[in-house]
Chain A
Amino acid sequence: MSIQVKFFASLREKMGMSEIKIESASASTAGEVWDQCTHNADRPMNVLVAINLEYAQFDSSVSEGDEVAFFPPVTGG
């Protein structure tokens, strides 16, 4: 299974990468994707997650080919 993972804004800078593809992902939830791609880094309290361009929860399920994005609170407008 492969999952495309993206990071945005301050989280991208903190993680030192904008995206990474996880091959042979064993993760079944967005939270487990975080753990796998960050090597179990502490997750900031305010981090938001989206799966396939829709807001999701960290216990939301992920599937083969999904795009999972992590980012800080939004500040547009």
Chain B
Amino acid sequence: MSAHILAYPFDPFHSIIEHQQHSDLGKQFGATASFIGSMRDFNDDATVTGMVLEHYPDMTQRYLDDLEQQARQRWDLLDSLIIHRVGKINPANPIVLIACWSAHRRAALDACDWLIEELKHNAPFWKKETRQDGERWVEHNTDGH
């Protein structure tokens, strides 16, 4: 179980494999569920050419650690991983990875869904987009459904 805030690009697929290989999962897990959020090159019908993600370092790390603890209490998870980018991001770059491991699929799927929704609604990150007509703070996230 770990949460990382990175100021540099990462490969989420490699991160899943690396975490799995270095964890204590052994051969108990029968399900791995993951969500990868990447930067779109559009928002509200405007072209977006870049983004800066700001966060509240101490609170964000504490919040993500607490989310994982809550997920472990709610579902029968074997392990989980959260990675979130900060700093300058380009279109198509991964922004967030959530991965959950469990013996059976429902726990991993439901925990992964819950974790990304909680993160998007409450984790202290803020996006500032660069558009052709200048920079703009994103004021709200899209509905998850």
Contact = CB atoms under 8 A, between A and B. Distances in A.
B62 interface: yes
A10 B126 contact: yes
Contacts of A9: 54, 126, 128, 137
Interface residues of A, number: 16
B88 interface: no
Given A8-B54, A9-B54, A9-B137, A76 B59 contact: no
B123 interface: yes
Contacts of A41: none
Interface residues of B, number: 27
Interface string A31-71: 00000000000000000001001110000000000000101
A37 B95 CA distance: 34
A53 B120 contact: no
**Majority SS at the chain B contact face:** mixed
B126 A53 contact: no
Contact of B126 (A8, A50, A69): A8
Contacts of A55: 122
A74 B123 contact: yes
Interface of A: 6, 8-10, 50, 53-55, 69, 71-77
27 contacts: A8-B54, A8-B56, A9-B126, A9-B128, A10-B137, A53-B56, A53-B58, A54-B59, A69-B56, A69-B59, A74-B120, A74-B124, A74-B141, A75-B125, A75-B140, A76-B55, A76-B84, A76-B95, A76-B96, A76-B119, A76-B120, A76-B127, A76-B141, A77-B37, A77-B96, A77-B119, A77-B141
